[in-house]
A and B are shown apart, each in its own frame.
Chain A
Amino acid sequence: MKVVIMGCGRVGARLAGLLDGDGHSVTILDTDTYSFRRLPPTFKGNALVGNGLDQEVLKRSGIEDADAFVATTQGDNRNIMASQIAKNIFNVPKVVSRIYDPLRQELYSTMGLDAISPTTIFAQILRERVES
């Protein structure tokens, strides 16, 4: 599978390493080259500097024939916008985005975006631990 990841933070870098290890072709985008230090030394994919909201940058990342796009930047709105570009402009078959704000995540899920709120999930996990 060909995967484009936007945002090379802890989650993005870790995901890139996992998918790369599974044999997928991974391109990871970040606006800051310093972020790429988080990639594992074994990473064989591409690391590309650029803003994932810019369609030229997305084209360079190979989004036009990507099978999946994942948005994991720190900004909910950036993730939302990039995911919608991937889904509605470039017709990427599988698009997943992280949205911290649970209300925003709910709204965009009902609008058809595959969005995960780590806030909701992590709070639930913590509750289970506390109550067990």
Chain B
Amino acid sequence: MYIIVIGGGRVGYYLTKALLSEGHEVVIIEKDAGVCKIINDELGGVCIRGDGCEAATLAEQGTSRADILIAVTGDDEDNLVACQVAKYRFNVARTIARIRNPQNESVFRKLGIDITVDSTSVILEHIKGELPTYPLTHLKDLGEVGLEIVEVRIMPDSKAIGKKVKDLPLPPGSRLSLIIHQSQKPHIPSADTTIRDGDRIIAITTPEQEEALRTVLSGT
């Protein structure tokens, strides 16, 4: 595939390295001449100096034949514009934008960007998953089908402990998919599975029912 990466910072650099090693044709567009030189010295002549939001620069790189454009600069607005120019001027089928302000996810979706990767939320979720005070962590957001995969840890004060799955008042659209407990192999729960202290439950739910699911499985 032909992939254009906008922004030669750390994310752009490692992304390009990974894409190249998978055999893709990759071009990075980066404004800073010094950064371009470093990348070209290390990865070969893959980096072009220029403004990835400018139609002229994108035209020179043959953007109309690109399969994907990925914008990973540090500024949300630059990533938005690079993706929109690629999409609406060059008809690039798939545009991916990195965002830093979590609020912008819905904005970008509404403005036609195919996929957003919210680096701030990814880091926050990883940290929250390690904090004992956060029983529910987002593992994956399946935005296009309106579902999400979450992990819920059963705390000692949970009112679900000792109950069978079939007796839990699970909210609509929510399903417990996997139970992980130290003492045994991870297993798919049945209606008669009993919830125990220390269980880690991988569940599918909707963003609307997430809070209700958390309530059913936690103490409060």
Q: Which residues of A contact B (CB under 8 A)?
A: 53-56, 75-78, 80-81, 84-85, 88-89, 101, 103-104, 107, 111
Q: A103-B54, A103-B55 are contacts. A55–B103 as well, Cβ < 8 Å?
A: yes
Q: A54-B103, A88-B111, A111-B88 are contacts. A104–B55 as well, Cβ < 8 Å?
A: yes
Query: B77 touches which one: A77, A103, A104, A107 (CB < 8 A)?
Result: A77
The reply to whether B107 and A85 contact each other, CB–CB distance below 8 Å, is yes
Q: A77-B81, A78-B77 are contacts. A104–B53 as well, Cβ < 8 Å?
A: yes
In residues 55-75 of chain B, which contact A (Cβ within 8 Å)?
Answer: 55-56, 75
Q: A55-B103, A77-B75, A88-B111 are contacts. A104–B80 as well, Cβ < 8 Å?
A: no
The reply to whether B77 and A80 contact each other, CB–CB distance below 8 Å, is yes
Q: Which residues of B contact A (CB under 8 A)?
A: 53-56, 75-78, 80-81, 84-85, 88-89, 101, 103-104, 107, 110-111
Enumerate chain B residues within 8 angstroms of A56, measured Cβ to Cβ.
Answer: 103
The reply to whether A104 and B101 contact each other, CB–CB distance below 8 Å, is no
Closest beta carbon of chain A to B7's beta carbon, Å: 13
The reply to whether B80 and A80 contact each other, CB–CB distance below 8 Å, is yes
Query: B80 touches which one: A81, A89, A103, A107 (CB < 8 A)?
Result: A81
Q: Give 4 closest A-B pairs by Cβ, nearest first.
A: A77-B77, A81-B77, A77-B81, A103-B55
Query: A101 touches which one: B54, B76, B89, B107 (CB < 8 A)?
Result: B54
